[in-house]
Amino acid sequence: MLPTRPPRTTEPNSDQTRIESPHWFDWLEPDSASGRPRDYDHVIVGAGAAGLSLAWALLDHRPQDSILLIDRRSHYVNDRTWCYWNVQRTAFDDLATHAWDRWRVVAPGGGRGGSDWDVTAASKRYRYLRLRAIDVYQRTLGRLSRAENVRLALGRTVESCRDLGDEEGFEVITSLGVARGRRLYLGTGWNDGRGTRTNVELEQGSSGLVQQFVGWRVRLTHPTPVVGFDPTTPILMDFRCDQSCGPHFLYVLPDSERGGLVESTMLLPPGVRVGRERHEQAIRQALAEQWAARADDYEILETEAGRIPMNTQPAPPPVGLERAFAQGRCRRIGLAGGAARPSSGYAFVRIQRQVRALARGLRDPRVAPRKYDFLDTIFLQVLRDHPEQVPTLFTRMFERTQPDALARFLTDASDWGDDLSLILALPKLPFLRAAARSRPIWGPLLSDLVLEYLGMVDDALISRASVNPAGSSSPTGLG
Ligand SMILES: Cc1cc2nc3c(=O)[nH]c(=O)nc-3n(C[C@H](O)[C@H](O)[C@H](O)COP(=O)(O)OP(=O)(O)OC[C@H]3O[C@@H](n4cnc5c(N)ncnc54)[C@H](O)[C@@H]3O)c2cc1C
């Protein structure tokens, strides 16, 4: 029996931070000499993970440039948790509140004698880091607020952006004034986690899936909980929940024995939405069944929610900005800029890579090698073709692939040996069929992929020759 009484709730997401520094807000004042809207080198629309990280990276690489960030939110709260494997360094790793060296995946009924298929993977080299969004916001806002050339305008919704040409730049029209910028970055978030879609076109016509989730951070209040959380091991996927809407799993990040974040995640076809209450029901049920916790036995400390695109096809440029996109004067960033890994939805590390590449002025600021788009296109097709096999597929992948190789693969840092071990771990027939069906999507990637592969072979030859130069007079052996 599930509890019917609503659980007690402390003020959710009450850990707020407000930025009051006055120079952040004077950007709307027109330039006193010309009376025109102020001009900035960079205007960033959306000061979320990508916008703030981009401003941080611009300060590193172009410290003299002026930057304006615009966001419709009025303040920052701890609205999400970011996790990733520390395969590559980011500027925020030291903020991690947890760093686990093991993780678990569970599917019902796939184990011996019909028991659950329960896989725990332990890594020798990598940790699964957990960061609170509020800590990342505080660090970035702290640095940006000290920089005289950075302005942050909160509480302003961007309504439209107009391209005035190479010389003049862009005009950005907000609910409360106008600004001008030479370079424009659109990080308005495909979805801001509060249910408002800001870039609907990214979902429409998509060949992929959408990851929709709701999470509760709970604390068990019973003085002696019957079953505690296991603080040593996060559960990346637990498929022991209702699969009637499609693939559905619970994601559990323990704070301590007394509680943690319990998230209900569904993989849905584009355009399909499932009501929040279905997720909440799944969380309640898991708390009752796995931790013997009824509504009276826990309180909800924080909530989070979101929808992440799982899709290998980039969104078209917004209408009216096509030329600016082609010239690289305007870019999408973050989720809106295709930064989420299509097969998993992980985006945080990719966003860091994307904004660094942009700040360094790279013409093609790719978030990852092309091979991941290729592999993920086929993987997504399998997930769409065989939703009933999703629990088995993921559990098998975690059981049969060496944990370090899988961590590298999920962080876009795998070598061909890692990729091969993953391919060998998965059933061949559904993947071959999916490869045939998704050819129109991955086909156009093929030439890039071959070039990328040749580049890698070249790199490998160069590094081998430089390790053992005896056999050649130049690093490539050609000279
Ligand atoms: C709850 C949650 C948990 C996640 N957990 C992980 C994780 O563990 N690991 C991982 O790798 N990724 C995770 N992600 C995915 C991804 O890392 C985050 O979504 C990340 O915040 C994306 O950054 P972003 O800048 O693209 O979007 P956001 O951080 O959402 O920023 C977009 C900003 O644009 C603003 N905005 C929108 N429209 C307008 C407008 N018209 N005018 C002005 N401002 C506007 C919004 O207010 C918002 O501040 C998670 C996502 C969510 C929602």
How far apart CA 361 and CA 53 sit, in angstroms, is 15
Confidence of residue 354 (pLDDT cuts 50, 70, 90): very high
Nearest protein Cα to ligand 1, atom 51: 306
- The closest-lying atom of ligand 1 relative to the alpha carbon of residue 51 is 25
Say whether pLDDT at 117 is over 90: yes
Q: Share the mean pLDDT of the chain.
A: 84
How far apart CA 144 and CA 127 sit, in angstroms, is 29
Domains of the chain: 22-79+132-197+314-359 (3.50.50.60), 209-310 (3.30.9.10), 370-464 (no CATH)
CA of 192 to the centre of ligand 1 (A): 5
Q: Exposed, middle or buried, 245 (CB in 10 Å: 0-12/13-18/19+)?
A: middle
CA of 48 to the centre of ligand 1 (A): 6
Q: Which of 17-31, 156-170, 173-187, 414-428 has the lowest mean pLDDT?
A: 17-31
CA of 467 to the centre of ligand 1 (A): 43
* Average pLDDT over every residue of 97-106: 98
Say whether pLDDT at 346 is over 70: yes
Confidence of residue 17 (pLDDT cuts 50, 70, 90): low
CA of 47 to the centre of ligand 1 (A): 9
pLDDT value of position 336? 86
Nearest protein Cα to ligand 1, atom 49: 48
Condensed to tens digits (0 to 9), the pLDDT of residues 218-269 reads: 999 988 878 999 999 999 999 999 999 999 999 999 999 999 999 999 999 8
Substitution site in 79, 198, 311 for ligand 1 pocket (most atoms within 8 Å of beta carbon): 198
Confidence of residue 28 (pLDDT cuts 50, 70, 90): low
Residue 303 tokens read as 């909530």
CA of 194 to the centre of ligand 1 (A): 10
Percentage, residues of the chain above pLDDT 70: 82
How far apart CA 83 and CA 344 sit, in angstroms, is 12
**How many helices (H) does the chain have, and how many strands (E)?**
12, 18
Substitution site in 217, 335, 349, 353 for ligand 1 pocket (most atoms within 8 Å of beta carbon): 335
How far apart CA 475 and CA 115 sit, in angstroms, is 56
pLDDT value of position 265? 98
Say whether pLDDT at 179 is over 60: yes
pLDDT value of position 474? 30
Q: Residue 257 gets which letter from DSSP?
A: T
Confidence of residue 440 (pLDDT cuts 50, 70, 90): confident
How many whole angstroms from its chain centre is CA 188? 14
CB 151 within 8 A of CB 179: no
Say whether pLDDT at 60 is over 90: yes
The answer for residues whose C-beta is within 8 angstroms of residue 30's C-beta and 6 or more apart is 36, 37, 38
Q: State pTM to two decimals.
A: 0.88
Say whether pLDDT at 145 is over 60: yes
Say whether pLDDT at 156 is over 70: yes
- The closest-lying atom of ligand 1 relative to the alpha carbon of residue 83 is 8
CB 461 within 8 A of CB 467: no
How far apart CA 185 and CA 52 sit, in angstroms, is 11
CA of 63 to the centre of ligand 1 (A): 25
Q: Give the binding-site residues of ligand 1, using a 6 Å CB cut-off.
A: 45-51, 70-73, 80-84, 157-158, 187-189, 192-193, 198, 304, 306, 308, 334-336, 346-348, 351
How far apart CA 383 and CA 387 sit, in angstroms, is 5
Condensed to tens digits (0 to 9), the pLDDT of residues 199-232 reads: 444 555 567 899 999 999 999 998 887 899 999 9
CA of 182 to the centre of ligand 1 (A): 24
Substitution site in 17, 19, 72 for ligand 1 pocket (most atoms within 8 Å of beta carbon): 72
pLDDT value of position 114? 77
Which tops the pLDDT comparison, 467 or 433? 433
- The closest-lying atom of ligand 1 relative to the alpha carbon of residue 215 is 1
- The closest-lying atom of ligand 1 relative to the alpha carbon of residue 79 is 1
Say whether pLDDT at 14 is over 70: no
pLDDT value of position 463? 53
